[in-house]
Protein backbone atom coordinates (compact mmCIF):
# COMPACT_ATOMS: atom_id res chain seq x y z
CA UNK A 1 0.00 0.00 0.00
CA UNK A 2 1.35 3.44 -0.94
CA UNK A 3 2.16 5.93 1.78
CA UNK A 4 -0.57 8.54 2.19
CA UNK A 5 0.63 12.14 1.86
CA UNK A 6 -1.15 15.50 1.88
CA UNK A 7 -1.17 15.29 -1.94
CA UNK A 8 -2.97 11.92 -1.74
CA UNK A 9 -5.71 13.53 0.37
CA UNK A 10 -6.22 16.34 -2.15
CA UNK A 11 -6.44 13.74 -4.95
CA UNK A 12 -9.00 11.78 -2.91
CA UNK A 13 -11.14 14.90 -2.62
CA UNK A 14 -10.91 15.47 -6.38
CA UNK A 15 -11.97 11.87 -7.04
CA UNK A 16 -14.75 12.00 -4.44
CA UNK A 17 -13.15 9.20 -2.41
CA UNK A 18 -13.90 9.54 1.34
CA UNK A 19 -10.90 10.03 3.64
CA UNK A 20 -10.90 7.80 6.71
CA UNK A 21 -9.08 9.17 9.75
CA UNK A 22 -8.76 8.07 13.38
CA UNK A 23 -6.80 9.27 16.36
CA UNK A 24 -3.96 7.02 17.48
CA UNK A 25 -1.67 7.17 20.51
CA UNK A 26 0.42 3.98 20.67
CA UNK A 27 2.38 1.52 18.56
CA UNK A 28 0.00 -1.50 18.55
CA UNK A 29 -2.96 0.70 17.57
CA UNK A 30 -0.83 2.27 14.87
CA UNK A 31 -0.15 -1.19 13.38
CA UNK A 32 -3.89 -1.92 13.55
CA UNK A 33 -4.75 1.30 11.68
CA UNK A 34 -2.21 0.47 8.99
CA UNK A 35 -3.59 -3.05 8.61
CA UNK A 36 -7.12 -1.65 8.29
CA UNK A 37 -6.03 0.84 5.60
CA UNK A 38 -6.87 3.99 7.57
CA UNK A 39 -5.71 7.07 5.63
CA UNK A 40 -4.81 9.46 8.45
CA UNK A 41 -3.52 8.63 11.95
CA UNK A 42 -3.84 11.71 14.14
CA UNK A 43 -1.90 11.81 17.38
CA UNK A 44 -4.51 14.11 18.87
CA UNK A 45 -3.98 16.18 21.97
CA UNK A 46 -7.17 14.37 23.03
CA UNK A 47 -4.58 11.99 24.50
CA UNK A 48 -4.69 14.41 27.43
CA UNK A 49 -8.26 13.28 28.11
CA UNK A 50 -8.26 9.68 27.01
CA UNK A 51 -4.76 8.54 28.00
CA UNK A 52 -3.38 10.92 30.62
CA UNK A 53 -6.50 11.55 32.69
CA UNK A 54 -6.41 15.35 32.34
CA UNK A 55 -9.74 17.16 32.55
CA UNK A 56 -9.20 18.67 29.07
CA UNK A 57 -6.47 19.12 26.44
CA UNK A 58 -5.01 22.33 27.88
CA UNK A 59 -2.23 20.77 30.03
CA UNK A 60 -0.76 18.68 27.17
CA UNK A 61 2.85 19.57 26.35
CA UNK A 62 5.02 19.36 23.23
CA UNK A 63 7.08 16.67 25.01
CA UNK A 64 4.02 14.52 25.60
CA UNK A 65 3.01 14.94 21.96
CA UNK A 66 6.53 14.03 20.85
CA UNK A 67 6.55 10.92 23.06
CA UNK A 68 3.22 9.57 21.77
CA UNK A 69 4.03 10.51 18.16
CA UNK A 70 7.27 8.52 18.40
CA UNK A 71 5.29 5.48 19.58
CA UNK A 72 2.80 5.74 16.70
CA UNK A 73 5.63 6.28 14.20
CA UNK A 74 7.30 2.99 15.20
CA UNK A 75 4.47 0.93 13.68
CA UNK A 76 3.18 3.31 11.00
CA UNK A 77 3.85 2.52 7.37
CA UNK A 78 0.84 3.74 5.39
CA UNK A 79 -1.35 6.34 7.11
CA UNK A 80 -0.39 10.01 6.99
CA UNK A 81 0.94 10.66 10.51
CA UNK A 82 -0.35 13.98 11.83
CA UNK A 83 0.55 15.29 15.27
CA UNK A 84 -1.44 17.91 17.18
CA UNK A 85 0.34 21.05 18.29
CA UNK A 86 -0.74 21.45 21.93
CA UNK A 87 -2.13 24.56 23.60
CA UNK A 88 0.41 27.44 23.84
CA UNK A 89 2.93 25.78 21.54
CA UNK A 90 2.07 27.99 18.53
CA UNK A 91 -0.39 30.82 19.28
CA UNK A 92 1.83 33.48 20.79
CA UNK A 93 5.07 33.42 18.81
CA UNK A 94 5.36 32.25 15.18
CA UNK A 95 9.06 31.37 15.56
CA UNK A 96 8.32 29.21 18.57
CA UNK A 97 5.46 27.65 16.57
CA UNK A 98 7.87 26.66 13.80
CA UNK A 99 10.39 25.33 16.31
CA UNK A 100 7.77 23.22 18.09
CA UNK A 101 6.37 21.91 14.79
CA UNK A 102 9.96 21.04 13.85
CA UNK A 103 10.37 19.06 17.09
CA UNK A 104 7.26 17.02 16.32
CA UNK A 105 8.57 16.33 12.79
CA UNK A 106 12.28 15.87 13.43
CA UNK A 107 12.18 14.10 16.79
CA UNK A 108 8.62 12.73 16.87
CA UNK A 109 8.44 11.51 13.28
CA UNK A 110 5.23 13.41 12.43
CA UNK A 111 4.60 14.00 8.74
CA UNK A 112 2.33 17.00 9.37
CA UNK A 113 0.97 19.00 12.30
CA UNK A 114 -2.54 20.19 13.17
CA UNK A 115 -3.35 23.56 14.73
CA UNK A 116 -6.65 24.91 16.04
CA UNK A 117 -8.01 28.27 14.87
CA UNK A 118 -8.55 30.52 11.87
CA UNK A 119 -7.34 34.00 10.89
CA UNK A 120 -6.13 34.57 14.47
CA UNK A 121 -3.24 32.09 14.02
CA UNK A 122 -2.23 32.75 10.39
CA UNK A 123 1.21 34.17 11.32
CA UNK A 124 2.03 30.92 13.15
CA UNK A 125 0.82 28.80 10.23
CA UNK A 126 2.88 30.83 7.75
CA UNK A 127 6.02 30.33 9.81
CA UNK A 128 5.40 26.59 10.26
CA UNK A 129 4.92 26.24 6.51
CA UNK A 130 8.18 28.16 5.95
CA UNK A 131 9.89 25.44 7.97
CA UNK A 132 8.49 22.94 5.43
CA UNK A 133 6.05 21.33 7.83
CA UNK A 134 2.66 20.54 6.23
CA UNK A 135 -0.21 21.99 8.28
CA UNK A 136 -3.74 20.70 8.87
CA UNK A 137 -6.29 23.24 10.17
CA UNK A 138 -9.05 22.71 12.73
CA UNK A 139 -12.19 24.91 12.93
CA UNK A 140 -15.55 24.88 14.69
CA UNK A 141 -15.42 23.44 18.19
CA UNK A 142 -11.73 23.79 18.97
CA UNK A 143 -11.15 22.10 22.36
CA UNK A 144 -8.11 24.26 23.18
CA UNK A 145 -10.52 27.27 23.26
CA UNK A 146 -13.19 25.75 25.52
CA UNK A 147 -12.72 28.41 28.17
CA UNK A 148 -13.48 31.14 25.59
CA UNK A 149 -16.24 29.12 23.87
CA UNK A 150 -17.88 28.38 27.22
CA UNK A 151 -17.73 24.58 26.89
CA UNK A 152 -18.07 21.81 24.32
CA UNK A 153 -20.85 23.40 22.25
CA UNK A 154 -21.88 23.10 18.62
CA UNK A 155 -20.42 26.06 16.70
CA UNK A 156 -21.63 27.96 13.62
CA UNK A 157 -25.30 27.96 14.56
CA UNK A 158 -25.78 31.72 14.12
CA UNK A 159 -25.49 33.43 10.71
CA UNK A 160 -22.65 35.60 11.92
CA UNK A 161 -20.71 32.70 13.46
CA UNK A 162 -21.20 30.66 10.28
CA UNK A 163 -19.92 33.57 8.14
CA UNK A 164 -16.82 33.86 10.34
CA UNK A 165 -16.14 30.14 10.02
CA UNK A 166 -16.39 30.31 6.23
CA UNK A 167 -13.96 33.27 6.20
CA UNK A 168 -11.59 31.33 8.47
CA UNK A 169 -11.75 28.25 6.24
CA UNK A 170 -10.96 30.32 3.11
CA UNK A 171 -8.10 32.09 4.89
CA UNK A 172 -6.60 28.76 5.99
CA UNK A 173 -6.80 27.41 2.45
CA UNK A 174 -5.21 30.54 0.99
CA UNK A 175 -2.39 30.36 3.54
CA UNK A 176 -1.57 26.82 2.45
CA UNK A 177 -3.02 24.29 4.88
CA UNK A 178 -3.62 20.95 3.12
CA UNK A 179 -6.85 19.93 4.93
CA UNK A 180 -9.19 21.22 7.62
CA UNK A 181 -10.86 19.34 10.46
CA UNK A 182 -14.39 20.65 11.04
CA UNK A 183 -15.60 19.81 14.53
CA UNK A 184 -19.18 20.01 15.81
CA UNK A 185 -20.81 22.30 13.29
CA UNK A 186 -24.18 21.90 11.53
CA UNK A 187 -23.99 19.56 8.54
CA UNK A 188 -25.23 22.16 6.04
CA UNK A 189 -22.52 24.61 7.07
CA UNK A 190 -19.94 21.83 6.73
CA UNK A 191 -21.31 21.09 3.27
CA UNK A 192 -21.01 24.74 2.28
CA UNK A 193 -17.42 24.95 3.50
CA UNK A 194 -16.53 21.63 1.83
CA UNK A 195 -17.96 22.80 -1.51
CA UNK A 196 -16.19 26.17 -1.26
CA UNK A 197 -12.72 24.72 -0.70
CA UNK A 198 -10.47 22.76 -3.01
CA UNK A 199 -8.63 21.23 -0.03
CA UNK A 200 -10.35 18.39 1.85
CA UNK A 201 -12.45 18.81 4.98
CA UNK A 202 -12.44 16.08 7.62
CA UNK A 203 -15.49 16.13 9.85
CA UNK A 204 -16.07 15.12 13.45
CA UNK A 205 -19.64 15.84 14.46
CA UNK A 206 -20.02 17.80 11.21
CA UNK A 207 -22.26 15.49 9.20
CA UNK A 208 -21.82 13.41 6.10
CA UNK A 209 -20.95 16.03 3.50
CA UNK A 210 -17.31 16.44 4.56
CA UNK A 211 -14.59 14.90 2.38
CA UNK A 212 -13.60 12.60 5.22
CA UNK A 213 -14.39 11.64 8.80
CA UNK A 214 -12.37 11.35 11.98
CA UNK A 215 -13.23 9.97 15.42
CA UNK A 216 -11.32 9.60 18.67
CA UNK A 217 -10.48 5.89 18.59
CA UNK A 218 -11.25 5.37 22.28
CA UNK A 219 -14.78 6.68 21.68
CA UNK A 220 -15.58 4.47 18.68
CA UNK A 221 -14.11 1.40 20.37
CA UNK A 222 -16.11 2.06 23.54
CA UNK A 223 -13.04 2.26 25.76
CA UNK A 224 -14.15 5.17 27.90
CA UNK A 225 -16.35 5.07 31.01
CA UNK A 226 -17.87 8.48 30.15
CA UNK A 227 -20.83 8.68 27.74
CA UNK A 228 -19.53 9.72 24.28
CA UNK A 229 -20.84 12.81 22.42
CA UNK A 230 -23.97 12.42 20.22
CA UNK A 231 -21.98 12.19 16.98
CA UNK A 232 -19.98 9.11 18.06
CA UNK A 233 -21.05 5.76 16.68
CA UNK A 234 -19.70 3.02 18.95
CA UNK A 235 -18.32 0.17 16.83
CA UNK A 236 -17.32 -1.93 19.86
CA UNK A 237 -17.68 -2.00 23.65
CA UNK A 238 -14.13 -2.85 24.60
CA UNK A 239 -14.32 -1.40 28.12
CA UNK A 240 -17.18 -3.74 29.03
CA UNK A 241 -15.26 -6.71 27.62
CA UNK A 242 -12.03 -5.68 29.36
CA UNK A 243 -13.80 -5.23 32.70
CA UNK A 244 -15.33 -8.71 32.41
CA UNK A 245 -11.89 -10.19 31.67
CA UNK A 246 -10.22 -8.41 34.61
CA UNK A 247 -13.00 -9.55 36.96
CA UNK A 248 -12.63 -13.16 35.78
CA UNK A 249 -8.85 -13.00 36.28
CA UNK A 250 -9.32 -11.55 39.78
CA UNK A 251 -11.72 -14.34 40.71
CA UNK A 252 -9.37 -17.02 39.32
CA UNK A 253 -6.44 -15.71 41.36
CA UNK A 254 -8.51 -15.32 44.54
CA UNK A 255 -9.79 -18.90 44.22
CA UNK A 256 -6.36 -20.26 43.15
CA UNK A 257 -7.83 -21.52 39.87
CA UNK A 258 -5.09 -19.60 38.06
CA UNK A 259 -2.35 -20.53 37.30
CA UNK A 260 -3.36 -24.17 36.87
CA UNK A 261 -0.91 -26.88 35.70
CA UNK A 262 -1.30 -25.97 32.02
CA UNK A 263 0.00 -22.46 32.73
CA UNK A 264 2.95 -23.67 34.87
CA UNK A 265 6.52 -24.85 34.09
O1 LIG B 1 -7.28 15.91 19.56
C2 LIG B 1 -8.02 15.26 18.79
O3 LIG B 1 -8.27 14.07 18.95
C4 LIG B 1 -8.63 15.99 17.68
C5 LIG B 1 -9.69 15.29 16.92
C6 LIG B 1 -10.92 15.28 17.74
C7 LIG B 1 -9.91 15.87 15.59
O8 LIG B 1 -8.29 17.10 17.44
Q: Whose CA is nearest to atom 1 of ligand 1?
A: 44
pLDDT at 1 over 80: no
Q: Where are the domains of the chain?
A: 6-234, 237-265
Q: Whose CA is nearest to atom 5 of ligand 1?
A: 44
Residue 137: closest CA among 149, 128, 146, 148: 128
CA distance 135 to 198: 15
**Res 84: pLDDT:** 98
Structural contact between residues 73 and 105, judged by C-beta atoms closer than 8 angstroms: no
Structural contact between residues 124 and 156, judged by C-beta atoms closer than 8 angstroms: no
Quickly state the pLDDT bin for 250 (edges 50, 70, 90): very high
**Res 121: pLDDT:** 98
HSE-CB at 34 with a 13 A cutoff on CA atoms is: 18
What's the distance, Cα to Cα, between the start and end of the chain in Å? Answer: 43
Quickly state the pLDDT bin for 244 (edges 50, 70, 90): very high
Instruction: Specify the CATH number of the domain 6-234.
Output: 3.20.20.60
Q: Residues enclosing ligand 1, CB less than 6 A?
A: 23, 42, 44-46, 84, 138, 181, 204, 214, 216
User: Measured in angstroms, how far is the CA atom of residue 17 from the centroid of ligand 1?
Assistant: 22
User: Measured in angstroms, how far is the CA atom of residue 219 from the centroid of ligand 1?
Assistant: 11
User: Measured in angstroms, how far is the CA atom of residue 84 from the centroid of ligand 1?
Assistant: 8
Q: How far is CA 199 from CA 27, 165, 177, in A?
A: 29, 15, 8
Using most ligand atoms within 8 A of CB, pick from 183, 228, 229 the residue to mutate for ligand 1: 183
Q: Mean per-residue pLDDT for 151-158?
A: 94
Structural contact between residues 189 and 169, judged by C-beta atoms closer than 8 angstroms: no
pLDDT tens string 61-106: 999 999 999 999 999 999 999 999 999 999 999 999 999 999 999 9
CA distance 223 to 241: 9
Task: Look at 124 and 227; give whichever has higher pLDDT.
Answer: 124
What is the pTM assigned to this prediction? 0.97
Quickly state the pLDDT bin for 239 (edges 50, 70, 90): very high
Amino acid sequence: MDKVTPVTLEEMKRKGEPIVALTCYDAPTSALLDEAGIDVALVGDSLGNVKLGYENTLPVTVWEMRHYTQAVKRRNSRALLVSDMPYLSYETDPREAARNAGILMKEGGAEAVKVEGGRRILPAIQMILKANVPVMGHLGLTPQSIRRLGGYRVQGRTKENARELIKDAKALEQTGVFAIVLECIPKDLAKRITNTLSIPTIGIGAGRFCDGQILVIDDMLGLSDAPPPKFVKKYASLRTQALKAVLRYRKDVKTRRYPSVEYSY
